[in-house]
A and B are shown apart, each in its own frame.
Chain A
């Protein structure tokens, strides 16, 4: 993630100006840009307008795997070494609900975190970073070669950025 690439980096103090710049960039057809925010900001997320994260699918699949394996394990193991306890049937699904439930949560949560890592890795882009972006500035990095620098720099400067610089 730390590798840098060539492009323009702009720092914004004002959220509305940054959102405006993002919308203009998109209108101009730029897709290869990265926005940094110190905290999740709705206005920026709306401007960037990504599809809903597929992490939720990982949660669902993890949860379903958990419930199946929880019940499956308890039932299979009860029949594999059959001991009657308390006169109850071997495959007593009611007490096994606890196991099924706990594994739903456990595997669901683990799958969610795995999904989070996988999707962050899959969607990462080369981008220069500035320490202010984890503090109080919004950053926009536009990946562009030196020769196309002019138009983008003009856009970023007129959109109200505090600072625009070219990163090699």
Chain B
């Protein structure tokens, strides 16, 4: 039987290196019954999603609720949603690393793992959306018998490059960060876990030469990931902004999408951290201060989002373009008014509660608030994509789209797919970085340091 050490009881003093290793390694032991029940629920929902997808593959895209002119629906909405969720991980792990913010160390691993799983989820949706999944490789520029190349002027191809790069680089970043931690738990583990960690630690022993190269490599990876995170959602926004659909064709889209992405990602990190902290008894490492810092970032990005909403409406009015005006009037008061107001209330009004310190430091309040932010951000993409497409230029070409049960099932399945990976990760690899939590605490000294 593979075992790990027992958790240490909570104390007020800063933890020692030994306590850090043991407390975090203790999260990896044998799962409880609750874990298997949760995994079972997740796998059931995933099976429903996969079933719906197979049904759609068998009978074609007609099983999705697409109604001309709305040919981008729940799948593209969900794609943008998951790419957005992914953004917070790289923000916390790379951007805050470059800013040298110490508090990131306790939360960055969860955020980074979330990033990788969110991109893995997002990446499925363009393939589901193309219908004939087996032709997805046409998106890749490869020498073929028709001597055709992809169209590099198309934002959809930019997307392929951006999302693929993001998946590869964020996965690399996660793995590189994990290696010293795996070595720490390797040296404590027994049974099959010892074997697993011996292989995945890639021979890490923490020698002076290893750290010498590692710290530099990590810095450069962070420096590369920082512009990447800002570019990916900009490129996703250009899928829309490069076309002439009213409600899409705006220069504000790139910063607006990046802020929205980080906003939704931060919300998802809190949604995941609250139960994780409780179950893994990580109260000593992930404190209210961490939640408050995340909440402040949510506040900042939430204000940017609120500002972008106002700007969008202002520009629609100020440009005097009748199509833009009509499109935005339709958003607020047309068929989909409920979606628009869900988005505005959840994203632009609820974050104002974060101005109260009590709310920022109340974990139940944050948990509820972030659930609403996640809901609101999904609806934001739904409004931008579906509502804009349903109400373009010609009244006779307008239409109404209602998602089908196939789309809802695949959407639910995507959440299950995401949570499945997260659950498997959380029980097998450290969700709080052992090495980085140690790094911000000074090692004991015999004599006082000469400062």
Which B residues are in CB contact (< 8 Å) with A164? none
**Contact A95–B207 (Cβ < 8 Å):** no
Residue of B nearest to A135 (CB): B21
A165–B20 CA distance with the chains assembled, in angstroms: 27
Interface bracket on A: 35 or more
Interface bracket on B: 35 or more
Which B residues are in CB contact (< 8 Å) with A80? 147, 149
A50 interface residue (CB < 8 Å to B): yes
**Contact B443–A134 (Cβ < 8 Å):** no
A103–B442 CA distance with the chains assembled, in angstroms: 39
A26–B438 CA distance with the chains assembled, in angstroms: 27
Most buried by B among A13, A40, A131: A40
**Contact A36–B206 (Cβ < 8 Å):** yes
**Contact A85–B151 (Cβ < 8 Å):** yes
Residue of B nearest to A116 (CB): B217
**Contact B207–A35 (Cβ < 8 Å):** yes
Which A residues are in CB contact (< 8 Å) with B147? 80-81
Asked whether A35 and B208 contact (CB < 8 A) given A14-B444, A15-B443, A52-B216, the answer is yes
Contact residues of A between 76 and 103, Cβ < 8 Å to B: 77-78, 80-81, 83, 85-86, 88, 92, 95-96, 98-99, 101-103
**Contact B217–A112 (Cβ < 8 Å):** yes
Which B residues are in CB contact (< 8 Å) with A63? 224
Q: Which of B148, B445, B446 contacts A81 (CB 8 A)?
A: B148
Residue of A nearest to B186 (CB): A134
Residue of B nearest to A75 (CB): B152
Contact residues of B between 213 and 260, Cβ < 8 Å to A: 213-217, 220-221, 224-225, 227-228, 231, 235
A158 interface residue (CB < 8 Å to B): no
Minimum distance in angstroms from B68 CB to a CB of chain A: 23
Asked whether A39 and B209 contact (CB < 8 A) given A96-B152, A101-B231, the answer is no
**Contact A1–B205 (Cβ < 8 Å):** yes
B44 interface residue (CB < 8 Å to A): no
A48–B172 CA distance with the chains assembled, in angstroms: 28
Residue of A nearest to B154 (CB): A85
Partner-binding segment picked from B162-170, B314-322, B340-348, B403-411:
B162-170
Contact residues of A between 1 and 30, Cβ < 8 Å to B: 1-2, 13-17
**A contact face: mostly helix, strand, loop, or mixed:** helix
Minimum distance in angstroms from A7 CB to a CB of chain B: 14
1/0 contact string of A56-77 vs chain B (CB within 8 Å)? 1001000100000000011001
Contact residues of B between 176 and 235, Cβ < 8 Å to A: 176, 180, 183-184, 186-188, 203-217, 220-221, 224-225, 227-228, 231, 235
B323 interface residue (CB < 8 Å to A): no
A74–B152 CA distance with the chains assembled, in angstroms: 6
Most buried by B among A17, A83, A95: A95
A16–B150 CA distance with the chains assembled, in angstroms: 59
A57–B213 CA distance with the chains assembled, in angstroms: 12
**Contact B224–A136 (Cβ < 8 Å):** no
**Contact B446–A17 (Cβ < 8 Å):** yes
B16 interface residue (CB < 8 Å to A): yes
A127–B205 CA distance with the chains assembled, in angstroms: 10
Known: A56-B216, A99-B157, A124-B209. 7 other contacts (CB 8 A): A38-B17, A78-B149, A85-B151, A105-B169, A105-B225, A109-B172, A160-B446
The contact sample of 16 A-B pairs, CB cut-off 8 A, is A38-B21, A39-B438, A45-B212, A53-B217, A77-B149, A77-B150, A78-B152, A81-B148, A85-B151, A98-B162, A102-B158, A124-B207, A127-B207, A135-B17, A138-B443, A160-B446
Q: 9 shortest A-B CB distances, which residue pairs?
A: A136-B17, A131-B187, A77-B149, A1-B203, A15-B443, A116-B217, A53-B216, A39-B438, A123-B209
Which residue numbers of B lie inside 8 Å of A, CB to CB? Answer: 16-18, 21, 141, 147-154, 157-158, 161-162, 164-165, 168-169, 172-173, 176, 180, 183-184, 186-188, 203-217, 220-221, 224-225, 227-228, 231, 235, 435-436, 438-439, 442-447, 449
